[in-house]
């Protein structure tokens, strides 16, 4: 929520204020290995896990007013094409000799039918020694084979684990220079490009396409399934094709002749899959355009420790909004200010409460309410040149901070604060208050969509705030001023925050 999802929503709303159009698509990685582990833990089927968490994930996105087209590839209406897209990619790569078969060693338990790989393996990262599973290290972004893992042991009880040699399919990266040049053109940061370079140094010019498992899309042999991480490429193609159909687009966004700007947004644990697997597949395949930009993120911590569903160290956005009465806009504001775009960051409950109570409820709310109340009922005369110039600069500054590829959310949201500081001089009379509020709505819409929409509507406009509509003066609507921001109840928030499995309110409140 702090990184990939909020950021694309902010960017798409920003484009909307400019009169542009953006489509945001995301969905469930239903064949990810950890779904098997969760199914065992909950005593349900893998399909049940996917359906249940799909609903919860969508509820999280909705709680923060994050808009997207959401897809679940297990549904009857999507599954056939999803599987076909994945198989088509791999068969096309095989046909044009862009793949190689790698023999690899992996533990196998005949009694359980499980391979000591994916969710069923634990050990230490061969690069940084952090505790890790068998394909990707969440600490350093490394990607490796199960046999590379140090001190590997199975994450299940079985006495019959024996070594096996299996054949897995890998994408042969023949155009590494072209791939690295593309990453540089995309504006991927030097730190993330170094992760890709280090990967090539340790694993050679290849990346996994299949892995040994029973859960997944069967592909090229017994117990061999599509590796879902490199398959984020096929997932992207599938999403684009779905979008094209739903929107009646004349061209596929990834078509060679397409003029779409395509962007993927993800965290550091997906660095190798996206930088090497997804771009590598596109370049080796040659029949689609690779992504134009990547929005990368580091990890977000909850008070010094990684957010974790397995350790139950987390807070759900939907709980903060529905149970603790926190406004989605307030959370969005905080997450935009303190986000893991450039480095690992921390959600500290005290900091959030202080920012909400002192600044949003203590400064911003009274400023917006005062301007709202002083507007009067008549349509005002044109804005002063000074205010228009200030607004132009504020909007340009915000646009600059949200320009791909080097976005800076924290700097972009600061444009709202500067505008609030102008209130005494700019909103001193009814006319000034009208234009100052309208400027705030334009600046705020990407970050605070509810607050911005309330102002825009009060000023007589329909739809979302748009720069094109700024100088129009429709009849004002008579609406009492809403409470834009209010102080939060610290106790109710603590009741929603799970710190190592416990909330301050209920020490037995473990939930997965």
Interacting residues toward Zn ion by CB under 5 A: 125, 127-128, 130, 137, 139-140, 142
* Residue number with CB closer to Zn ion (137 or 444): 137
Of 314, 296, 317, 294, nearest to 306 (Cα)?
A: 314
Cβ atoms of 302 and 2 closer than 8 Å: no
Q: What is the dihedral of CA 149, 155, 159, 160, to 10 degrees?
A: -60
Smallest distance, Å, CB 134 to Zn ion? 12
Smallest distance, Å, CB 213 to Zn ion? 22
* Beta-bridge partner residues of 512: none
* Residue number with CB closer to Zn ion (38 or 143): 143
* Residue number with CB closer to Zn ion (129 or 178): 129
* Residue number with CB closer to Zn ion (149 or 217): 149
* Residue number with CB closer to Zn ion (142 or 225): 142
- The sign one gets for the Cα dihedral 401, 407, 410, 413 is positive
Smallest distance, Å, CB 277 to Zn ion? 17
Backbone angles phi, psi at 149, to 5 degrees: -60, 135
What is the DSSP annotation of 135-200? Answer: SB-TTT--B--GGGSEEEEESS--S--EEEEEEEEEEE---HHHHHHHHHHHT--HHHHHHHHHHH
* Residue number with CB closer to Zn ion (129 or 262): 129
Smallest distance, Å, CB 500 to Zn ion? 23
Smallest distance, Å, CB 140 to Zn ion? 3
Of 144, 139, 404, 124, nearest to 298 (Cα)?
A: 139
Which residues have C-beta within 8 Å of that of residue 429, sequence separation ≥ 6? 374
Which residues have C-beta within 8 Å of that of residue 330, sequence separation ≥ 6? 356, 360, 485, 488
Smallest distance, Å, CB 343 to Zn ion? 17
Q: How far does CA 116 lie from the centroid of its chain?
A: 29
Smallest distance, Å, CB 310 to Zn ion? 18
Query: Cβ atoms within 10 A of the Cβ of 41, count?
Result: 11
* Residue number with CB closer to Zn ion (137 or 426): 137
């Amino acid at each position: 929520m702090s990184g990939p999802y909020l950021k694309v929503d902010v960017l798409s709303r920003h484009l909307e204020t400019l009169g542009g159009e953006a489509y945001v698509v995301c969905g469930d990685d239903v064949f990810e290995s950890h779904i098997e582990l969760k199914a065992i833990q909950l005593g349900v089927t893998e399909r049940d896990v996917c359906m249940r968490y799909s609903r919860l994930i969508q509820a999280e996105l909705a709680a923060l007013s994050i808009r997207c087209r959401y897809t679940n590839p297990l549904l009857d209406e999507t599954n056939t094409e999803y599987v076909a897209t994945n198989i088509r990619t791999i068969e096309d790569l095989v046909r044009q000799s862009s793949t190689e078969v790698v023999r690899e060693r992996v533990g196998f338990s005949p009694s359980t039918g499980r391979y000591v790989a994916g969710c069923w393996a634990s050990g230490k990262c061969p690069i940084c020694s952090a505790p890790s599973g068998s394909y990707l290290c969440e600490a350093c972004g490394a990607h490796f084979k199960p046999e590379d893992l140090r001190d590997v042991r199975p994450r299940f009880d079985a006495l019959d684990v024996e070594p096996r040699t299996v054949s897995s399919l890998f994408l042969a990266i023949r155009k590494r220079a072209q791939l690295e040049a593309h990453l540089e053109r995309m504006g991927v940061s030097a730190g993330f490009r170094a992760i890709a370079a280090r990967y090539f140094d340790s694993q050679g010019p290849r990346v996994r396409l299949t892995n040994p498992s029973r859960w997944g899309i069967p592909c090229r042999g017994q117990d061999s399934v599509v590796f879902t991480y490199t398959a984020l490429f096929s997932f992207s193609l599938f999403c684009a094709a779905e979008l094209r159909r739903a929107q009646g687009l004349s061209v596929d966004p990834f078509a060679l002749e397409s003029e779409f700007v395509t962007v993927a947004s993800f965290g550091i644990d997906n660095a190798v899959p996206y930088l090497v697997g997804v771009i590598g597949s596109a370049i080796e395949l040659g029949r689609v355009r690779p992504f134009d930009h990547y929005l990368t993120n580091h990890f977000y911590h909850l008070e010094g420790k990684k957010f974790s569903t397995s350790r139950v160290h987390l807070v759900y956005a939907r709980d903060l909004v529905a149970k603790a009465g926190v406004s989605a806009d307030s959370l969005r504001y905080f997450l935009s200010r303190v986000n893991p775009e450039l480095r690992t960051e921390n959600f500290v409950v005290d900091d959030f409460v202080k920012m909400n109570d002192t600044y949003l409820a203590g400064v911003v709310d009274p400023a917006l309410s005062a301007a709202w109340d002083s507007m009067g009922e008549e349509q005002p005369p044109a804005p002063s040149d000074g205010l228009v110039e200030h607004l132009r600069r504020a909007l340009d500054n915000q646009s600059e901070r949200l320009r791909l590829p080097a976005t800076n959310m924290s700097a972009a949201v600061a444009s709202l604060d500067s505008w609030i500081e102008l209130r005494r001089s700019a909103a001193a009379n009814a006319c000034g208050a009208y234009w100052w509020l309208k400027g705030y709505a334009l600046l705020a819409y990407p970050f605070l969509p509810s607050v911005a929409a309330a102002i825009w509507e009060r000023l007589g406009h329909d739809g979302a705030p748009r720069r094109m509509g700024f100088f129009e003066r429709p009849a004002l609507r008579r609406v009492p001023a809403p409470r834009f921001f209010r102080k939060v109840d610290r106790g109710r928030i603590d009741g929603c925050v799970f710190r190592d499995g416990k909330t301050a309110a209920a020490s037995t409140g473990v939930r997965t």
